[in-house]
Chains A and B, each alone.
Chain A
Amino acid sequence: MRIFDPHIHMTSRTTDDYEAMHAAGVRAVVEPSFWLGQPRTSPASFRDYFDSLLGWEPFRAAQYGISHHCTIALNPKEANDPRCAPVLDELPRYLVKDNVVAVGEIGYDSMTPAEDTALAAQLQLAADHGLPALVHTPHRDKFAGLRRTLDVVRESALPAERVLVDHLNETTVKEAKDSGCWLGFSVYPDTKMDEERMVAILRAYGPEQVLVNSAADWGKSDPLKTRKVADLMLAEGFGEDDVDRVLWRNPVAFYGLSGRLNLDVTGTEPTHEGNSILRGVPKDPHEPDPASGAPARVPATEA
């Protein structure tokens, strides 16, 4: 079974999680930019975070044979903090990077004027950069939040089929599906969705354009929820093709809209994918490339 977790905050997780995820079948993740629990106080803090999503975290993931991409944005909560909002001006230089496959998470937290401004501006940035958008729907006043989100999307330059609305549930799935957006569901131990309710929604609404994620982060969450949904789908009579569609092909199709999704796990060897010219050792063209197809090596890093 191959699994793509389309929303997981690996920066907050340990290497044990990466190991368990790989064992469960996870081969690709997208890590959306979000808040960190502790509020940030300046754009510099965002820059370090974005750099980590484009540097260290993909390296960590590759050590465990998992492809890592990210989405970049000013999140809705911190859009309200005037100390953080100026990072909006710095997003364009991040949105051109190879590993950035969407603008996100954007959307609403408390539905303030500052959030309106940040959401509209970042939907425009997505359109300008040829990127889809990952839109967080609020946890409080959720249904009203979804409607307002969909209104802003309709008024934006970004077509609905390039938008994923996330954290949906029984109360918001129908309106979201009718909008033409992609449908994201976060499966959590206690809050958001659980496996049984997720399977019921799949039965009622079908697997088309549905993405299931763990949204695992620094809170109580479980990076293996994607696999648990897949297992329950099979137990409840869904076929392997449906599971592959929801847990792999749908996220590949959505983030593939960026044109930047590269699911070959880049090895963590210093020689980039066997590109020996850069090592200075001319390579024998008849020699088989030891790097291609080899599983990622897990170095015993101590430093």
Chain B
Amino acid sequence: MTHPRATPPARTESTTHTGRPRPGTARTPSLTDFRDHLTTQLEPAARAWLEHALDEATAHPGLHGPISAWELRLAEAGRRCGAAHADAARVLILDAARADTDALTRVYFQGTADERRAVLHALPHLVSGPGALPLVEDALRTNDTRLLGVAVGPYAARHLAPHDWRHAVLKCLFTGVPVDHVADLDERSRGDGELARMLADYAAERTAAGRPVPEDLHRVLDLTESVPPAPGTDHPHGKES
């Protein structure tokens, strides 16, 4: 897959003393990771298909005809590469086609749930500013856990406003999406008194109903209490204790 392109460097992996990534601080895979993963995992026929698709997308990016060739490849990536590798293949196709915010928005809203998930995966690699936030917000409005788990990735960590981000965390707890999927969970929840209040209220509601409180809730609650709020942190109501 010969598509040298300047890509954002992978962020530094954050690990505990045991060598395991700390929860909520998983390293964002780089496009090179995606490429290496597929190079080793894909069957020869699928690999050949993907290489051709990437060459084609590199040579003919942008809009052409009723459906651009790279958008056709994006649509068929699942049956060509197999469901387990489709996300990574689609991210590489989007990268090769140099899809900008407008193109990503179009293919997201014209895409299947699988294509939408791939666009969400691609956002931190392909979009530098907050322009693609409407896609994240759309995904967060769904109840599809396969979209939610990706919508709370690094792009959301970077750009989602505090109120929306807290609701995203709460929605993960509601829908059973492990908070491991929430990028930068440690950093963003640290000292967040408003998030702590929302979590405590949710726990109280569950307890009043005689229903179990999700284990992840306590974990995030601990994170909110891990360090006193730094000056300027958004905590309009302070922490209730």
On A, residues with C-beta under 8 Å from B are 51, 54-56, 58-59, 92-93, 96-99, 259-260, 262, 264, 266, 268-275, 277-282, 297, 299-303
Let me know if A278 and B79 touch, CB within 8 A: no
Instruction: Please judge, given known A-B contacts A55-B144, A299-B175, A301-B143, whether A92 and B83 are in contact too, CB under 8 Å.
Output: no
Partner of A270, one of B78, B150, B154: B150
> Chain B contact residues: over half helix, strand or loop, or mixed?
helix
In the complex, the chain B residue whose C-beta lies closest to that of A273 is B84
Query: Which residues of chain B come closer than 8 Å to A259, judged between CB atoms?
Result: 79
Partner of B175, one of A98, A99, A280, A301: A301
User: A8 CB to closest chain B CB, in angstroms?
Assistant: 20
User: B68 CB to closest chain A CB, in angstroms?
Assistant: 11
Q: How far is the CA of A282 from the CA of B142 in the complex (A)?
A: 28
Residues facing A in B134-158 (CB within 8 A) are: 142-146, 148-150, 153-154
Let me know if A272 and B175 touch, CB within 8 A: no
Partner of B67, one of A51, A93, A99: A93
Q: How many residue pairs bridge A and B at CB < 8 Å?
A: 115
In the complex, the chain A residue whose C-beta lies closest to that of B149 is A270
B37 at the interface (CB under 8 A from A): yes
Query: Which residues of chain A come closer than 8 Å to B143, judged between CB atoms?
Result: 301, 303
Let me know if B148 and A270 touch, CB within 8 A: yes
Let me know if A275 and B84 touch, CB within 8 A: yes
Query: Which residues of chain A come closer than 8 Å to B181, judged between CB atoms?
Result: 270-271, 279
B76 at the interface (CB under 8 A from A): yes
Query: Which residues of chain A come closer than 8 Å to B83, judged between CB atoms?
Result: 262, 264, 266, 272-273
Q: How large is the interface on B (under 10, 10 to 19, 20 to 34, 35 or more residues)?
A: 35 or more
User: B116 CB to closest chain A CB, in angstroms?
Assistant: 7
**Extra 11 A-B pairs, beta carbons < 8 Å, given A59-B146, A98-B77, A259-B79:** A55-B116, A56-B142, A58-B113, A93-B67, A98-B76, A98-B112, A277-B34, A279-B26, A281-B21, A281-B26, A297-B176
User: B160 CB to closest chain A CB, in angstroms?
Assistant: 17
What are 11 sample pairs from A and B whose C-beta atoms fall under 8 A apart? A55-B144, A96-B72, A97-B112, A270-B145, A270-B181, A277-B88, A280-B21, A281-B21, A282-B27, A301-B174, A301-B176
In the complex, the chain A residue whose C-beta lies closest to that of B33 is A277
Q: How far is the CA of A115 from the CA of B114 in the complex (A)?
A: 33
Query: Which residues of chain B come closer than 8 Å to A51, judged between CB atoms?
Result: 112
Partner of A269, one of B27, B84, B146, B154: B146
